[in-house]
Amino acid sequence: MKNWESDTFLARWLNGELSSDELKEFEQSEEFAKFQKIKEATENLETASYDEEEEFRKLLGRIEEKKAKPKQFRIQPILRYAAAAALILSVPLVIYLSLFNDEIVDFTASQNEKIELPDGSSVQLRSQSNISYNATDWSENRVITLDGEAFFDVEEGEKFEVKMESGAVRVLGTSFNITESADTLKVTCYSGKVEVEAFGDLKQLEVGESITLAEDFIEEGKTSMNLPVWINQSATFRNVALRVVIEEFEEQYEVKVLGKFDLSQNYTGQFPVNDIEIAMAQIFGPYNLDWELDEENGEVFIIE
């Protein structure tokens, strides 16, 4: 039996997987040229073209049609899909929403996700968190229920209220972060003004202020970041002292920064919280500082 007759030989040849000895022997066989000719002739074969964009549009249309028949889809994918499709089709979304008189949206994020609310406000929902709201009368009644953690960016308009087991947060056009669990609530205000009512307390927060509440517990705090870390997996700063940025960096990576340099310089930018090398480059790079990481002792040396 010739080597090319064995069961996977030619497949491996076509894929360039033969050993050089196998290949040499094969090339000397009288059949080689015939196989080579087939290989070359099929190198540039094509089928008729495929208009992928057009086909996808058609597909969306057909899914849209089927959607009119209820019960085939669960609420979550339909709504998400409808929102995306609205950009392309614009009409079907309206038709869809009007099919239901009181559309309650109940959504749990499987990963960090941004959800647009009917008035243009948005909720960045942390993975595994849940929100629900009534989409039908949203413009008159901006009440949303949260279980978990979310960052809200609120358009101006009627009162905006987030309800939780432990209390409620009310605002007028602002952005803020809520971390909510069964027994504690932490709210951080990133812009505008926020009113927090929970555990029998009523507090107002201004930009950069945070509050942690629990039964018989209250703690006020500050932030110099302008977005919660979990949203981009990075710490984001606008015009704060380098000292503040470094404190945050030390906390995120559990390291100590050593060395003499000017800590009062202003910093605008962000650093990732999951990659220390990139983080160091983004913090110290702009100031022409050199750094050296001693992983064992958790120390970063800065050399001017």
User: For binding to another protein (CB under 8 A), which residues are involved?
Assistant: 4-5, 7-12, 14-15, 31, 34-35, 37-38, 41-48, 50, 52, 55-56, 58-59, 62-63, 66, 72-77, 80-81, 84-85, 106-111, 128, 130
CB of 57 to another protein, least distance (A): 11
Q: How far apart are CA 115 and CA 8, in angstroms?
A: 51
Q: How far apart are CA 299 and CA 301, in angstroms?
A: 6
Indicate the residue among 63 and 293 with the shorter CB distance to another protein.
Answer: 63
Indicate the residue among 63 and 207 with the shorter CB distance to another protein.
Answer: 63
Using CA atoms, how far residue 104 sits from 76, 116, 136, in Å, is 11, 15, 8
Q: Hey, what are 4's tokens? A: 């090319």
Report yes or no: 174 and 157 within 8 Å, Cβ to Cβ: no
User: With helix as H, strand as E and coil as C, how does 55-110 read?
Assistant: HHHHHHHHHHHHHCCCCCCCHHHHHHHHHHHHHHHCHHHHHHHHCCCCCEEEEECC
CB of 33 to another protein, least distance (A): 10
Report yes or no: 250 and 235 within 8 Å, Cβ to Cβ: no
Using CA atoms, how far residue 229 sits from 55, 150, 190, 241, in Å, is 40, 12, 12, 18
Nearest CA to 78 out of 89, 65, 67, 66 is that of 67
CB of 85 to another protein, least distance (A): 8
CB of 127 to another protein, least distance (A): 8
Q: Hey, what are 212's tokens? A: 């942690």
Task: Please name the amino acid found at residue 154.
Answer: V
Q: How far apart are CA 193 and CA 266, in angstroms?
A: 25
Using CA atoms, how far residue 59 sits from 51, 64, 65, 258, in Å, is 12, 8, 10, 59
The DSSP H or E segment spanning 26 is helix 20-28
Q: How far apart are CA 125 and CA 107, in angstroms?
A: 10
CB of 28 to another protein, least distance (A): 17
